[in-house]
């Protein structure tokens, strides 16, 4: 297989059309067998459920080229399971988990020429998603759905290494108690756009959302979970039913405990104790970990001892170990890497 002639080191994080995508349709109570297609466009009725009432859920994951030249994805079974939870919460049919993984494998295989080479820093981003496609005007779930998977090569999230970012405590809420914060639905992102544009306009990189009910506990950012490191090297992550269960964060907590022998805690994290932590990072598929150097709460600054120049030492170890597992030079726990070819 000949790789596409792409300047891998300099592609950004934006959509680039690749050759094939997977499509399966749900009609009369069942999914069809699914196909790979060349057509990147979708034709749907003007009144499609997704357009009127935002009935859509998605996943995000990556394919990597390992040091020994294999193409792998990272824990796709967890994305499949999470999409089941998301679909159920929005009254959508479940796309079977084994078929989800198979659709991802088929799509990556068909676009293997776009999987960036080892060492380029770039990866192939994979976007599975599902939406209501038949006309819906009275408020109810759609009857027909489409499940798709497309891929797009993306550059290293941080060009020239990860510099710590500055985040602000948001005045907006991300998720209500008993709402939809724990599922990966487009609607959670639509309503976060105003908050992130506002944060950027005020000179911040990201928002820290607090729990909507009491505004005393740390939740997450718009698209990444928090980890904190205490001064005695314990790795702490907020426990909450209204944050999205990040696969990266769950993997980092496992790596902290089982590879680095650190103590780990998933518990309520009060905003009042943030000032006492030594390190802070944001976890998600896109950047793996983005180090946070500073949190600003309405003019009051919390500066982590790790500073604004580089990741804290524990964050760096977590990052190196997890990316080492993903790139195949550190042995992965059983079942974490799905070899595509």
Ligand X SMILES: *Cc1c(COP(=O)(O)O)cnc(C)c1O
- Residues near ligand X, by CB under 6 A: 60, 184, 220, 223-225, 244, 246-249, 283-285
**Shortest Cβ 220–ligand X spacing (Å):** 5
Residue positions counted in the chain: 341
Short-list 139, 143, 131, 149, CA closest to 56:
131
Task: Decide: residue 194, CB within 10 A, 0-12 exposed, 13-18 middle, 19+ buried.
Answer: exposed
**Shortest Cβ 245–ligand X spacing (Å):** 8
Residues 6+ apart with CB under 8 A from 270: 216, 217, 218
Smaller CB separation from ligand X, 217 or 249: 249
Smaller CB separation from ligand X, 196 or 302: 196
Smaller CB separation from ligand X, 223 or 312: 223
**What are the catalytic residues?**
184
Lookup: tokens for 196: 């992130």
With H, G, I as helix, E, B as strand and everything else as coil, classify residue 68: coil
**Shortest Cβ 225–ligand X spacing (Å):** 5
Short-list 135, 129, 220, 213, CA closest to 169:
220
Smaller CB separation from ligand X, 50 or 78: 78
**Shortest Cβ 329–ligand X spacing (Å):** 21
Sign of CA dihedral 301, 307, 313, 319: positive
Short-list 289, 219, 216, CA closest to 251:
289
């Amino acid at each position: 297989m000949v790789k596409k002639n792409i300047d891998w080191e300099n592609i950004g994080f934006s959509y680039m059309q690749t050759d094939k995508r997977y499509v399966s349709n749900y009609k009369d109570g069942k999914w069809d067998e699914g196909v790979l297609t060349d057509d990147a466009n979708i034709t749907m009725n003007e009144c499609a459920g997704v357009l009127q009432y935002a009935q859509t859920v998605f996943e995000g994951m990556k394919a990597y080229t390992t040091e020994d030249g294999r193409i792998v994805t990272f824990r796709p079974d967890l994305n499949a399971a999470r999409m089941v939870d998301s679909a159920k919460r929005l009254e959508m049919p479940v796309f079977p988990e084994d078929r989800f993984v198979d659709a991802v494998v088929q799509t990556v295989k068909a676009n293997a020429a776009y999987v960036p080479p080892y060492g380029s820093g770039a990866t192939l981003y994979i976007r599975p998603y599902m939406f209501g496609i038949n006309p819906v005007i009275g408020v109810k779930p759609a009857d027909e759905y489409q499940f798709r998977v497309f891929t797009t090569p993306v550059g290293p999230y941080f060009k020239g290494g990860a510099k710590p970012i500055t985040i602000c405590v948001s005045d907006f809420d991300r998720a209500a108690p008993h709402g939809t914060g724990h599922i990966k639905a487009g609607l959670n992102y639509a309503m976060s756009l105003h908050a992130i544009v506002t944060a950027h306009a005020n000179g911040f990189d990201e928002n820290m959302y607090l729990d909507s009910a009491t505004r005393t506990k740390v939740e997450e950012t718009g698209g990444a979970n928090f980890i904190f490191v205490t001064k005695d090297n314990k790795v702490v992550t907020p426990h909450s039913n209204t944050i999205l269960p990040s696969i990266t964060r769950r993997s980092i907590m496992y790596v902290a405990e089982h590879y680095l022998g650190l103590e780990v805690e998933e518990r309520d994290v009060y905003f009042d104790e943030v000032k006492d932590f030594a390190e802070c990072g944001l976890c998600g598929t896109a950047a793996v970990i983005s180090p946070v150097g500073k949190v600003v709460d309405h003019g009051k600054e919390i500066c982590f001892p790790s500073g604004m120049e580089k990741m804290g030492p524990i964050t760096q170890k977590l990052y190196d170990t997890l990316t080492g597992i993903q790139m195949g030079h550190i042995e992965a726990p059983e079942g974490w890497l799905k070899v595509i070819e």
